[in-house]
Amino acid sequence: RKEVEQDPGPFNVPEGATVAFNCTYSNSASQSFFWYRQDCRKEPKLLMSVYSSGNEDGRFTAQLNRASQYISLLIRDSKLSDSATYLCVSIPRGSGAGSYQLTFGKGTKLSVIP
Amino acid sequence: EAGVTQFPSHSVIEKGQTVTLRCDPISGHDNLYWYRRVMGKEIKFLLHFVKESKQDESGMPNNRFLAERTGGTYSTLKVQPAELEDSGVYFCASSQIAGVPADTQYFGPGTRLTVL
């Protein structure tokens, strides 16, 4: 079983729509979670960290459910510029003392259509 | 402020040859990481330096891969001899604060390696 699993999509949504991505992780000891965004043939860039209390950054809302080992990302009022691959990422505790390795999902592709 | 830079951006070599990838982290960042994405798979961790020391090399696939970070500045990743399955995009990332696992990792543009 993969450590981080995501629906690969693609999600094709019209401009202005609300879209939600889900992600599950298998390591219950994982401590830190993030959503990264990756444009085609570019590097991943941090979109936002994910906290148990939930957090919001403009049109983006991230949620963490530790009991279900589930992370979500909600994008409201989608823009054309939101088209990208969204990567669910964790730092698995126990991967080695002092290890900060990021564990990535394969990503969910979003296309926002005019 | 300059971001993480990587060189070369692309490399095409034949099986059995040697390739060296270079990464320059953001100035002042103690942590440097190497990751790799093989086609169709997720990005996977290779190793982590804190300054010049290898903190975690649990992701290195085999002894054909050698990473160095002399002087704690730039890093090189050498593949010798290269095999077909080494093809992929090699990303370098850096983060500033040692001792903070959740500190943001900034990624470079990657080196696309093709082994023929």
Higher-pLDDT residue of B114, A3: B114
What pLDDT does residue A94 have? 52
Q: What is the mean pLDDT of chain A?
A: 91
pLDDT digits 0-9 by tens, A59-80 = 999 999 999 999 999 999 999 9
What pLDDT does residue A63 have? 94
- Say whether B35 and A102 touch across the interface (CB within 8 A): yes
pLDDT at A58 over 70: yes
CA-based R_g, chain A, Å? 14
DSSP state of B42: -
Higher-pLDDT residue of A95, A28: A28
Distances, alpha carbon A12 to alpha carbons A69, A79, A102, B17, in Å: 26, 12, 28, 42
What pLDDT does residue B99 have? 65
Q: How many CB atoms lie within 10 A of CB B2?
A: 8
B84-88 mean pLDDT: 97
Confidence of residue B60 (pLDDT cuts 50, 70, 90): very high
Confidence of residue B62 (pLDDT cuts 50, 70, 90): very high
What pLDDT does residue A29 have? 83
Q: Which two tokens stand for residue B92?
A: 């370098």
Question: Token pair 């957090």 is at which residue?
Answer: A55
B91-98 mean pLDDT: 89
**A22 close to B (CB below 8 A):** no
> Which one of B105, B112, B114 would you mutate to disrupt binding with A, by most A Cβ within 10 Å of its Cβ?
B105
Nearest CA-CA distance, residue B113 and chain A, Å: 13
Residue of A nearest to B37 (CA): A106
C-alpha span between B21 and A102 (Å, rounded): 21
User: DSSP letters of A36-91?
Assistant: EEE-TTS-EEEEEEE-TT-EEETTEEEEEETTTTEEEEEE-S--GGG-EEEEEEEE
**A79 close to B (CB below 8 A):** no
* Of A16, A11, A19, nearest in space to A75 by CA: A19
pLDDT at B110 over 90: yes
pLDDT at B75 over 80: yes
**B43 close to A (CB below 8 A):** yes
**A103 close to B (CB below 8 A):** yes
Nearest CA-CA distance, residue A46 and chain B, Å: 7
